[in-house]
Amino acid sequence: KPCPLCDEAKEVLEPYKRRFTLQEVDITLPENSAWYDKYKYDIPVFHLNGKFLMKHQVDLQKFEDQLVKVELQND
């Protein structure tokens, strides 16, 4: 903290917040060292349903496409 890139990503995702649950992970905490080792130069990183989706910034088209797939699977 602070993480302006993360804040920007959260703003972009704000209109979708009713369609998914955002779980933030602070990779600087000792218990998240594996994530730190993997992503220390690539924040923010996005996973959807446990699978890597994108990094650095939100690709809205990719996010929307994958979110719709998840929603269809859950119906």
* Domains by residue range for the chain, with CATH: 4-74 (3.40.30.10)
Q: What is the pLDDT of residue 61?
A: 97
Q: Indicate whether 42 pLDDT > 80.
A: yes
Q: What is the pLDDT of residue 75?
A: 81
pTM of model > 0.75: yes
Question: Per the structure block, which two tokens stand in for 52?
Answer: 């890597």
Q: What is the pLDDT of residue 2?
A: 84
Query: Where are the extended beta strands (E) located within 1-75?
Result: 45-48, 51-55
Nearest to 9 by CA among 20, 22, 19: 22
Q: What is the per-residue burial (b if ≥16 Cβ within 10 Å, else e) of 21-47?
A: eeeeeebeeeeeeebeeebeeeebbbe
